Amino acid sequence: MITSGAIEALELVGKSFLDAGDVVVVEGPTYLGAIQSFRSFEATIEAVPLDGDGLQVDELERRIERGLRPKLVYAIPDHQNPAGVTLSAERRTVLVELARTHGFLVVEDVAYRELGFAGQALPSLWSLAPDAVVQAGTTSKTLFPGVRLGWAVAPPDVAARLVAAKQTTDQCAGAFGQRLFEEFQRRGWIDEQLAASRALYERKCARLLAALEASMPAGARWTTPHGGFFSWLTLPNVDTTELAQRAVERSVGIVPGSLFFPDGRGADSVRLSFSLVDENQVDEGIARLAALLHLEA
């Protein structure tokens, strides 16, 4: 099914499946747009922690054993937004088996899947369990954002409900954007674009990580992404909402971590994005941020 982007796919899933009070499990932290979307359907959002290997599936299993009954589990398994981590192969298998055993639907957001620096990816959740997974993707990160074009695949009965919801929402996605994407695929231009994008983002990421290593104070820690756009910086005992406000005064943009949790956690963390910033400005941006932290020390 063609959509206007991954966020619309989330809206269609919510419209089709969620009733007030239904439980949606998300990664903690997770994509802000997903939190906002699920909240709009009055769902109860439960955040399960992440670590360097992605969603802590064993913790999800423990919570289910203690009585948690999710209707949906939303995950970004590849180069996660905002943490930049990737779900391990072992955890992918366990997650889809939990979905089959306990009857919940996994919503897999693959917005960053094609932007792995190595050009390779672990098996998608959809490929492991097409009977239990809705996979949603977008061309906004790989073609250009203005097209507003995405897609979703799902089990047949789920797909039928999503199509019905789509028809009552906006009839259909724009034909012009679909035609553009088809032509990019047909001529092989998208493959060339992806190769160039991966190389660019890998350079920017390496520069960001080197700048963090050189400038951050003792106690700071951050994730090491292998694709996508983001690193998750944790700064113990720092109010990052206040830090973000002060950083703006020095022309540095960071996003406070509490926005990426449904329950206000993450107040000591920030999302760092290296997608848009000029790579020659990365060192200076991190140096300015570090200077603020040293002033607070």
Look at residue 203 in the predicted model and tell me its pLDDT.
Answer: 97
3-state secondary structure of 233: strand
Which domains are seen in the chain, by residue range?
2-186 (3.40.640.10), 191-296 (3.90.1150.10)
Look at residue 259 in the predicted model and tell me its pLDDT.
Answer: 97
Q: Summarize pLDDT for 1-15 with one digit per residue, the tens.
A: 566 667 888 999 999
Whether the pLDDT of residue 36 is over 80: the answer is yes
Averaged over 171-183, what is the pLDDT?
75
Contact in structure between 31 and 109 (CB atoms under 8 Å): yes
Averaged over 238-242, what is the pLDDT?
96
Least reliable range by pLDDT among 108-117, 126-135, 179-188, 211-220? 179-188
> How many other CB atoms are there within 10 angstroms of residue 45's CB atom?
20
Q: Work out the pLDDT band at 119, boundaries 50, 70, 90.
A: confident
What is the C-alpha separation between 241 and 243, in angstroms, rounded? 5
R_g (Cα) of the chain, nearest Å: 19
Question: Burial level of 93, CB count in 10 A (0-12/13-18/19+)?
Answer: middle
